[in-house]
Chains A and B, each alone.
Chain A
Amino acid sequence: MGLTNTPSDLLPGTLELLILKALVRGSKHGYGIVEHLRLASDDVLTVGESALYPALQRLLQNDCVKAEWGTSENNRRARYYTLTAAGRRQLAAEQTEFDRMVGAIQRVLKTS
């Protein structure tokens, strides 16, 4: 895997969707999110920081997540992100949309 999975490598908006999904089980810091995505995808998805942090900022701006300073496992100050109610709604909506889109793509791929 390359260093950075820039948003253009995925479908637009997919990274945000994945981040939201990663936060469903509780708040995580940036590294936690990356690790969660890596483990959950069997090492297929490695999200680069240069894509992750702007995406997190966008989510903050849209009130989908909220951030709080806390202490990480290695005793450093880390920012923990938590899903908000708006974030949950957004996740549900985008998940449906994503399923629809992926289904459509698969149908296209099968017919050809």
Chain B
Amino acid sequence: MKTFLRGLLHLLRRSRHDADLREEIETHRALRQAALEQDGLDPFSAEWASRRAMGNVTLAVEDAREVWIWRALDQLWQDIRIAIRGLRKNPVFTFVTIATLALGIGANTALFSIFNGLILRPLPVREPARLALLLDGSWSYLVWSEIKARDKDLFDGAFAWANETFDLSRGGQSDFVEAAHVSGRYFELLGVSAVRGRVLNEADDTAAMPDGPVAVISHRFWRSHFAGAEDVIGRQITLQRKSFTIVGVLPPGFFGVDVGRMTDVMLTFAAEPLMRGEESILPAAGASWLNIVARRKPGQTLEQANAALRGVQPQIRAATMGGISPARVERYLTRPLTLVDAATGRSPLRSRFEKPLIAMVAAVALLLLVACTNIASLLMARVLARHRELSVRMALGGSRGRLARLLFTESLIVAIAGAALGLLFAQWSGALLVSQLSTWEGDVSLPLAIDWRVLGFSVALACASAIVAGVAPALGLRSVAAGEALKDAGRGLTGDRRFAVRGTLVAAQIAISLMLVTAAGLFLRSFTSLARMPLGFVPEPLLIAEVDLQASGGPIEQRGERAERLRAAAASAPGVKAAALSRVSLLTGGGWWANRVAIDDGAMPVEDVSANRLWRNATSPGWFDTMGTPLISGRDFTDADRAGAPLVAIVNPAFVKRYQLGQQPLGRTIRIGLPNGERRYEIVGIAGDSVYTSQHDGMMATMYVPLAQIAPLGGTVILTINADRSRRVAVQREVAAALARTEPATSFVFRTFDQFIDARVTQERLIAMLSTFFGALALLLAGIGLYGIVAQAVRSRESEIGLRLALGAQPGGIVRLVFHRVGILVAIGLTIGFAASYWAAKFVGPLLFHIDSRDPATFAAAAGVLVAAGLLAAWLPARRAARLDPARVLREG
């Protein structure tokens, strides 16, 4: 090793070393000359004799150098120079291969960097490996209080946080910020300190709040909202109309424990009652809204931490039982608390995007394989084209191994250049992909910085590609014999012995491309069928205003009247055809449900935990009309259905079917179980079916009740406005003005169903988009590969074809000749591709919506596309062959 290092050092200081040696040897010669002069020779003869005696100084220097230089290193450098010279002589080849690889490696790296940011990257906090998340997501503050009381005994400590979205405005249109309530030791346990001011501490999380209501902000928020002002500490920020003092700025890159979410403002749990007032959910046992993470003691394993926690589980649960329905008690008591490793944080995005991400990683890996095959094929073609050169090199003493290494160096250089460009492409396309994940529900943002994992991944890819692409041409070398080119001028009738190797490569490409094109077809059809799903209402003319009745304060009992006043104001705004209120907006992924439902005198179930639960909504009169949902029978709610009047309900056919109400649903009774007792509703109408949570779930059994009979009304109410779509911008402005006139302090935010629908199909849209892109790219690469091999084959058989034409073959016959070959390749490729697609279909199935993963029409269409591409790729060289001038070919032969 030492020798090697010194050899390397020597190589770096080579010129200096050589000069030293030359000088040393020259001294030697001068001394000899002096000796000769002493023996009586004249100076001229002495110098000449000494030079002759010395022999070749350069050779001596080189011999001395050989001792030092790590010979292989020198040869490598030589290989690199020759390879670069060769590549520069073929700019088109070089460009195509590097661009192909850049796309292949870039797409792979982009997906990997997303995978890395979402799943692999540890949190930027102190010793993330010791963090553990309490499973099953959401807990009540009561549970947290019990754990907090014991956290120092059980672990190094534990902290909790709850994500919220707060309104920065003071009224009018809302200006939302992603925020979170955190527990007092949150920052202390994470080991995160502030870059300005201080972080939140335990004192801030007590009811006393020594510094008053305080908040810390992210570095990004400091830059964007305070322009990075130095005096930001001590300034005020308005959240939900309440004023908070900024006490600190968090370090750049820290956005909380949720990967993919950028929490910009953090305050303590003690601030929650300030914002929600008497509706505070801190004392609510039934509220599940916060996450809990423990920092294990040094050396404490996950098992030990779990055991410690389960040891106090009975006390924790006993203290938090109040207010939970008896039906849930049993489940609540027996399920053991479980901590899992949380070094990489927590993310709801993971479960959502894990499967599609893996499918896409498989797709891009296949794409890279196609790209490598293409490069192998191109390099192979170059070996054939350079047959003479290589043969001469071999005749001049180049060893076969050395030549193989030369070819390998070429593919390695191409791969490295491709990887470097690919990294750039990955940075750009990765950011583009992540931005596609953002919806109205929240911006998704992942750290995509190139860290050692991403860099290592792309370097590994480059090496793998170089090996895959370099092996075939090196094998092709076997057919090159020394001096062959010198004997044979390259004239021959059949020169396509190597057609077989390249043919195999092309067939493989076609097979892989067929898989990718088939997948693209399936995903596209799945997406279109999802996008064409009937919704049960007419979304185009609808505009939604989410009105926040809580932040502006005021008695809770008056919310109903306020909502109705705002609705009336909106309804009378110019351009508005109709306006109605509801408690829940459709297509937001969730909603209001009931899990204890009975009809008439049927038995009340303990608890319905199936996913197919009964969804509920509360609406004002005219809501169905506004939405465009038909009323099938019975009546809509009226102003007479107010608080105190008999409870009524409207249901849909899905409800009638689910609860088997038969032909006469009107007038029957729905009973909804409550923690204490039950509530009875009379069915007065049937409205058309519609989707509720998301298009995927289809038409849901839904029960509607009058909004006026809901007491107390929640903090937000949905105002649905029906207006001409083309005038939406103007209408939005008019409605905003009308609402602000009626209640200046109330804030609201506009949404459209386009946003809701988009957010629900993000995953499908992304997969369809990506797979189409990958499929098209694979098709293009396969086309280029096929074209390349056919053109090459035609060129090498020019003299044969010329002869055939001269002997009377028809141009059509020549075209058939070429097509015959291509046909065999395509047929083999398609057969393999079909089999592989059929097998791979089982992995794709779970990602598809309303379409069979082995849908014959899609398979046939994909094959058709590939055949068309194959025909095009073969037609161009075939036409050239048929138009050959036999006289010229034979003359030039």
User: Which residues does A use to contact B, with CB under 8 Å?
Assistant: 3-4, 29-31, 34-35, 48-50, 53-54, 56-58, 61, 72-74, 76-79
Tell me if A74 and B25 are in contact (CB < 8 A).
Answer: no
Excluding A49-B55, A74-B34, A78-B28, 6 further A-B contacts by CB distance (< 8 Å) are A30-B24, A30-B25, A49-B60, A53-B24, A54-B64, A76-B30
Inter-subunit contact B55/A54 (CB<8 Å): no
Q: How far is the CB of B711 from chain A (nearest CB, A)?
A: 94
Docked complex: B29-71 residues within 8 A CB-CB of A: 30-32, 34-35, 53-57, 59-61, 63-64, 66-68
A54 to B53, CA, bound (A): 17
In contact, B28 and A50 (Cβ under 8 angstroms): no
Known A-B contacts A77-B27, A79-B24; A58 and B67 likewise in contact (beta carbons under 8 Å): yes
Partner of B25, one of A3, A35, A53, A73: A53
The reply on B272 being an interface residue by CB < 8 A is no
Interface CB pairs A-B, < 8 A, 23: A3-B55, A29-B24, A29-B27, A29-B31, A31-B27, A31-B31, A49-B55, A49-B60, A50-B56, A53-B24, A54-B63, A57-B67, A61-B6, A61-B67, A72-B31, A73-B31, A74-B31, A77-B27, A78-B24, A78-B27, A78-B28, A79-B24, A79-B27
Contact (Cβ within 8 A) A57 B28: no
Residues of B within 8 A of A56 (CB): 64
A residues in contact with B6, CB < 8 Å: 61
B224 at the interface (CB under 8 A from A): no
B3 and A72 form a contact (CB under 8 A): no
Q: Which single residue of chain B is at the shortest CB-CB distance from A62?
A: B3
The CA of A50 and the CA of B60, in the complex, are separated in Å by 5
Nearest opposing residue in chain A for B67, CB measure: A57
Query: Which residue of A has the minimal Cβ distance to B32?
Result: A31
Whether the pair B23, A77 counts as a contact (CB closer than 8 A) is yes
A50 touches B59 (CB 8 A): yes
Chain B residues, Cβ within 8 Å of A30? 24-25, 27-28
Assess the B20–A79 pair: CB atoms within 8 A: yes
| Shortest beta-carbon distance from A52 to chain B in Å | 8
Q: Does B21 reach chain A (CB closer than 8 Å)? A: yes
Which residues on the B side are within 8 Å of A4 (C-beta)?
Answer: 55
**A residues less than 8 Å from B3 (CB atoms):** 61
- In the bound assembly, the distance between CA atoms of A34 and B60 in angstroms comes to 15
Q: Which of B20, B27, B53, B67 contacts A76 (CB 8 A)?
A: B27
The reply to whether A49 and B54 contact each other, CB–CB distance below 8 Å, is yes
The 9 closest A-B pairs by CB, nearest first: A31-B31, A57-B67, A50-B60, A53-B64, A78-B27, A76-B27, A31-B28, A54-B64, A54-B63
A42 to B25, CA, bound (A): 24
CB-CB under 8 A for A57 and B68, given A49-B55, A78-B24: yes
Q: Write the nearest CB–CB distance from A31 to chain B, whole angstroms.
A: 4
What residues on A are CB-neighbors of B31 within 8 Å?
Answer: 29, 31, 72-74, 76, 78
Q: How far is the CB of B606 from chain A (nearest CB, A)?
A: 86
Distance (Å) between the CB of B428 and the closest chain A CB? 50
Residue pair B21, A53 in contact (C-beta under 8 Å) = yes
Contacts of A49 in B (CB 8 A): 25, 28, 54-55, 57, 60
Query: Which residues of A are found within 8 Å of B53, using beta-carbon distances?
Result: 3
**Residue of B whose beta carbon sits closest to that of A76:** B27
- Complex Cα distance, B60 from A3, in Å, reads 13
State the Cβ distance, B76 to closest chain A Cβ, in Å. Answer: 21
If A31-B32, A54-B67, A61-B68 touch, whether A72 touches B59 (CB-CB below 8 Å) is no
The smallest C-beta distance from B22 to any residue of chain A, in angstroms, reads: 10
Interface centre among A30, A35, A49 (most CB of B within 10 A): A49
A73 vs B32: C-alpha distance when bound (angstroms): 12
Bound form: Cα–Cα A94–B34 in Å: 34
CA distance A75 to B56 in the complex (A): 24
In the bound complex, residues from chain A placing their C-beta under 8 Å from that of B56 are 50
- Which residues of chain B come closer than 8 Å to A35, judged between CB atoms? 35
Q: Which residues of A contact B20 (CB under 8 A)?
A: 79
Query: What residue of chain B has the Cβ atom nearest to residue A30's Cβ?
Result: B28
Residue from A31, A34, A77 with most neighbouring chain B CB atoms (10 Å): A31
Q: Quick check: A72 and B27 within 8 Å, CB to CB?
A: yes
A72 CA to B30 CA in the complex, in Å?
Answer: 10
* CB-defined contacts of A29 to chain B, threshold 8 Å: 24, 27-28, 31
A58 to B23, CA, bound (A): 18
CA distance A79 to B64 in the complex (A): 15
CA distance A74 to B28 in the complex (A): 11
Q: Which residue of A lies closest to B6 (CB)?
A: A61
Q: Mark B67-101, 1 if CB is under 8 A from A, else 0.
A: 11000000000000000000000000000000000
**Are A57 and B25 closer than 8 Å at their CB atoms?**
no
Contact B64 A57 (CB under 8 A): yes
CA distance A78 to B873 in the complex (A): 71
| A61 partner residues in chain B, CB cutoff 8 A | 3, 6, 67-68
Mask of B510-522 contacts with A, CB within 8 angstroms, 1/0: 0000000000000
